Every structure is written in structure tokens, then in C-alpha cells.
Chains A and B, each alone.
Chain A
């Protein structure tokens, strides 16, 4: 067993940290778009909007039923060959598209389940004051479903942050790509990858702290 090159490891930390914003940025943008898309799909399914409901089922089935990596390759390498306007698509955009659609499919189902868990009386009360379906969803049902869905959704966000590492296969130099380059130059693969592992882990742990705060905030109506 050889000794670890600690100097190299310490030197690597600031270099790799400079890629964290890109990784987090891709994850954050994808998460926001996925949340919006997933909420819309969940509502479409719960309210049973004709035509859109069928389309949503098909969408969820496809994006849950195929690997994320396959989807990313399809967007980045495949689609531009058949759709000319996508020729200029860059790796970051393709990764964000893939992450958004993939995770939206999963999140739609958790949000749908959370919506169905909201007590019937809340729907009736909303209708009784004369709200439209949209008003009812936005003001009463979705906020209550959010409390139930929050832990699962944070889990998906964690998965998404780690999923951004796949963007490296699309030629994006993000956290994982940068590590791979550094390691290929120094041949110190263990040092490089243990550092990047620790960075991902630290990001996720920090997020877990926020999760607790978020859950307290969403649960404030239920605290006694």
C-alpha cells in the first residue's frame, strides 16, 4: 500500500470547489423546472384532464422506464440528428433537459400521492367559497400536499445533485468531469475521487440541514 499524497489532496480542494457552482446551478435549475412540471402533471392526473391525462401517463411511463444516461445521450447525441434546430444544443442544456424531465416523472407521482392524501373536506371547503380548480390547487391543496411530499422531494433533489455528474459523459466539465481530468493528469485516482466524494457528501449533508428547516416551516400549521 502506498502513502496518500495529502499535499495533492489539499491542493485539489479549491480547484474542485470552483466547479461546485456549476453542479449546484444545473441541479437547482433542473429542480425548479422539474417541480413546476411535476406539479402540473400531478394536477392533470388528479383532476383527470382529458387528453392531457393520457399524455402525462405516457410521459411518466417513458421517463421512469428508461435509464437517465440513455435519456441524456438521446437528448445530446440523438435528437440533434433528427431535429435540426437542436444541433446547437450544448452539454449543460442537454443535461438540464434530461434531469428535469427524468425527475419530473418521478416527482409527479409523489406529488400526486400527496395531493390525494389531502383531506376531502379541504376540497369541499375550497369549492364552497367559490374557488376555481386552479385557485383551489394553488391556495389550498398544493400547499398542504407540499408538506407531505417535502421529504421525498428533497430526496429527489439529492439524487439530482448526484445525477449532474452524468453531464460529464456529455463533455461538460462539471465537478465530476473536472475530477476526472485532474486524476488523468496526476494518475492519483484515489486521492482525486475521495476528495470529490467528500465534496458531494458535504453538499448533501448541508442540504439535509435545510431540509429540517423546510419541514418545520411547512409543518407550522400543524404544530401544537
Chain B
């Protein structure tokens, strides 16, 4: 249901994504690991055109876009097939917790306010922040903000959830609650593409782990294999450093 062919992104002369192919089944949870600066985040960002890819064909759900000549309308349609969890949470600063979750439902999907807020309230319960519904992001801890960020992504029910280093900006004390919540989301077999440096978490939730280096997929496989018996020397070197 997700098919990417020949995805390429250059920043100047630097090729950040080098002709990537990827297929993800519905309900599959794919985790991408690798050293910093190897294009992991860029990959997620090109999939919903936060960065415009230079080449490649992206198909998510029933929307297919050719990066070379994607109209604004197509880009928007593709974006609506994905939800995104940001490293720095990126909550709407002028909206309360519940409004952050409901915003996409009312503005983008045209739900009436009551229905959207009822749904947002359910999600607040799931993410354990029912009592914070009226709080603005500035009054929430980093962990709480990221949980709202995940809640916002859950609300859209987009076919593919893109999760970009969800705990990298967090103080250590908040990391666990965010990972617990993401596990809960993963357990519902939400199709997701996750970039993370939390190896234990990767092991716990992944159906497949991809090791990425230099803008290419070096090695991929089930987590047991990647973490215990990596084939490529680069994967081994990386895992030795982080495990």
C-alpha cells in the first residue's frame, strides 16, 4: 500500500537520498536506524513533501505522485495520506491541547466542531492527558507536548504515520512516557515509518528494521536478525557503537 521507487533528494551537490525503493505493507511497522546525517529524517520529510524530492514516484494509499512534476494539488493529496510526529513536537502554539488534536478534523476534513472535539477528547483519554485539554502548549512539559503531537497524528487516521525522532528533543525523564504511548499506537497495527535512536524501542515495535547510511538502504530485515546477526560491516559498526 506504500510504494516508493527511485526516490532521490539532493541539497546542492550533496545527494541525501540516493535512488531509494521501498514497499511497506498495510499495518507494517518499519523502523529506520543509522548514523546522524544519513538522510533518515529527509526520507520521512520527502514522503509528505515537507521537502520536495527531486526524483521518484511515491504511492501512499490510493494517491500516487511523480516527484518530478507534482502539482500542488497532488502534493496536498499525498500529504493527507500521512500524519507526522515531529522531533520538536511542533504543536500549534495558538491552540489548546484539544484544539491541536481537533484542528485537522475541522479545518482539513470539514467535521463539525462538536464531533471533532468529541473525537479529540477520546484521544486525550488514550494519551493520558484528559485533564490538560484546555492547556496551551507553553504550559505543557516536553513529554506532554509530544503526546499531544502523537494524538494529533492519531486523529487524522491517515494510512501512514511518519514519526521523526520522537524522543530526541526530550529530557530523559519524559522519554519513557512517549515511547510507551508509541508502543500503544504500534500495537494497533498502525502502518508507520519511524526514525529513532532508541534501539530497544525499535526492537520492541518493528516488524522490519532498515539500516540507512549515506542516503542508501544498506541492510534491512526483522529486528531479531538486524540486531543479533547483522550482515553488513557498516551495520555491525553502527550497532557496536549504539548498543
Is A39 on the interface with B (CB-CB < 8 A)?
no
A26, chain B: closest CB distance, angstroms: 32
A135 CA to B83 CA in the complex, in Å?
17
A221, B138: Cβ atoms closer than 8 Å: yes
A127 CA to B91 CA in the complex, in Å?
12
B83, B88, B96, B139: the one within 8 Å of A129 (CB): B83
Which B-chain residue is minimally distant from A125 (CB atoms)? B90
B120, chain A: closest CB distance, angstroms: 13
Q: Of A48-56, A80-88, A139-147, A193-201, which binds chain B?
A: A139-147
Give the residues from 140 to 183 in chain A that come closer than 8 angstroms, CB to CB, to chain B.
Answer: 140, 143-144, 147
Is B22 on the interface with A (CB-CB < 8 A)?
no
A128, B48: Cβ atoms closer than 8 Å: yes
Is A124 on the interface with B (CB-CB < 8 A)?
yes
A124, A132, A147: the one within 8 Å of B76 (CB): A132
A121, B86: Cβ atoms closer than 8 Å: yes
Is B80 on the interface with A (CB-CB < 8 A)?
yes
Q: A130-B76, A130-B156, A222-B136 are in contact. Are A124 and B94 (CB under 8 A)?
A: no
A224, B107: Cβ atoms closer than 8 Å: no
Q: Give the residues in chain A near B27, CB-CB below 8 Å.
A: none
Q: Give the residues in chain A near B83, CB-CB below 8 Å.
A: 128-129
A124, B86: Cβ atoms closer than 8 Å: yes
A48, chain B: closest CB distance, angstroms: 13
The listed residue with most B CB atoms (<10 A of its CB), out of A140, A223, A224, is A140
A121, A130, A220, A223: the one within 8 Å of B104 (CB): A130
B48, chain A: closest CB distance, angstroms: 6
Question: How many chain B residues touch A (Cβ–Cβ < 8 Å)?
Answer: 28
Is B238 on the interface with A (CB-CB < 8 A)?
no
Which A-chain residue is minimally distant from B108 (CB atoms)? A130
A143, B76: Cβ atoms closer than 8 Å: no
Is B84 on the interface with A (CB-CB < 8 A)?
yes
B94, A130: Cβ atoms closer than 8 Å: no
A121, A128, A132, A143: the one within 8 Å of B94 (CB): A143
Q: Give the residues in chain A near B104, CB-CB below 8 Å.
A: 129-131
A128, B88: Cβ atoms closer than 8 Å: no
Give the residues from 79 to 100 in chain B that come closer than 8 angstroms, CB to CB, to chain A.
Answer: 79-80, 82-84, 86, 88, 90-96
A121, A122, A129, A223: the one within 8 Å of B108 (CB): A129
Q: Give the residues in chain B near A215, CB-CB below 8 Å.
A: none
A131, B107: Cβ atoms closer than 8 Å: yes
Which of A's residues lie within 8 Å of B, judged by CB?
119, 121-122, 124-132, 135, 139-140, 143-144, 147, 220-224
Q: Which 8 A-B pairs have the closest CB atoms?
A: A129-B104, A128-B84, A121-B90, A130-B80, A125-B90, A221-B136, A130-B108, A143-B94
- Given contacts A127-B79, A221-B137, list 18 more A-B pairs with CB under 8 A: A121-B86, A124-B50, A124-B90, A125-B86, A128-B79, A128-B82, A128-B83, A130-B76, A130-B104, A130-B156, A131-B107, A140-B94, A144-B93, A147-B94, A221-B96, A223-B136, A224-B138, A224-B139
Would you mind naming 5 contact pairs between A and B with Cβ atoms under 8 Å apart? A125-B91, A128-B83, A139-B107, A220-B136, A224-B139
